[in-house]
Amino acid sequence: MRFLKSGFGLAKKAKSKPKAAPAKAKPKSALDGLLIGLADAARLIGKSETHVLTLVSENFLKRAGRGQYRPQDVAQAALKFRESEDRRSSQTEERRRIEAARANTEEIKFAQAAGQLYDADDVEAVFSDILGSLRFELSGVPAASTRDLTVRASIEKHLNGAIDRCQNKFAEAEQALRAGEEVVLDGESE
């Protein structure tokens, strides 16, 4: 027990610092101190001896001695190598997608420049204009064909029906094309 002198000559008991508990040693694993050879390291991770040597050459695995490895190091190196392979493959896949998108954009630009690709709104306007002109021109056919009003009415009815069916086909084709679907033309089977 230690005593301190106070300013009045009285001794006081010194507060003692609590002693730290002795450091506990890590529990020993059954693998601690165990070394295995190249063939056993390969069997441990289910790969070839060449793969283990690749892990060493790419600094994923350190040798514990000449041709000797610690089993826990072999397992960790195999996991780290696999994680790096997954990362590299996902980066490669992303790079391929970007390159494909760029190539597609370039193909579209070249097709437009070569006059092989047209804006859907422009095509729709042209077809609407042509169909309107056709309807106007055909509207005079019944009157020019006959003076009989019942026959004329029948011809007008059939012409208007045909034009309406064509107009509906244009609308359906436009909707399918804008949705990216295939358009089935007359005479084609799906």
Number of domains in the chain: 2
Average pLDDT, the chain: 79
> Is 70 exceeded by the pLDDT of residue 188?
no
Domain-ending residue, one of 58, 86, 108: 108
Specify if 2 maps to a domain: no
- Tell me the pTM: 0.37
**Is residue 98 located within the same domain as residue 126?**
no
Residues in Cβ contact with 65 at an 8 Å cutoff, skipping those fewer than 6 apart: 35
Q: How many residues does the chain have?
A: 190
Higher-confidence residue: 132 or 77?
Answer: 77
Specify if 51 maps to a domain: yes
Specify if 135 maps to a domain: yes
Report the pLDDT averaged over residues 18-47: 75
Confidence band for 1, pLDDT divided at 50, 70 and 90: very low
> Which range is least confidently modeled, 9-13, 33-37, 44-48, 89-93?
9-13
- Note whether 48 and 33 are within 8 A (CB): no
**Is residue 100 located within the same domain as residue 124?**
no
CA-to-CA distance for 178 and 173, rounded, in angstroms? 9
Look at residue 115 in the predicted model and tell me its pLDDT.
76
**Is residue 72 located within the same domain as residue 122?**
no
Specify if 143 maps to a domain: yes
Specify if 12 maps to a domain: no
Higher-confidence residue: 42 or 118?
Answer: 42
Specify if 32 maps to a domain: no
Domain-ending residue, one of 88, 108, 128: 108
Domain interval for residue 101: 38-108
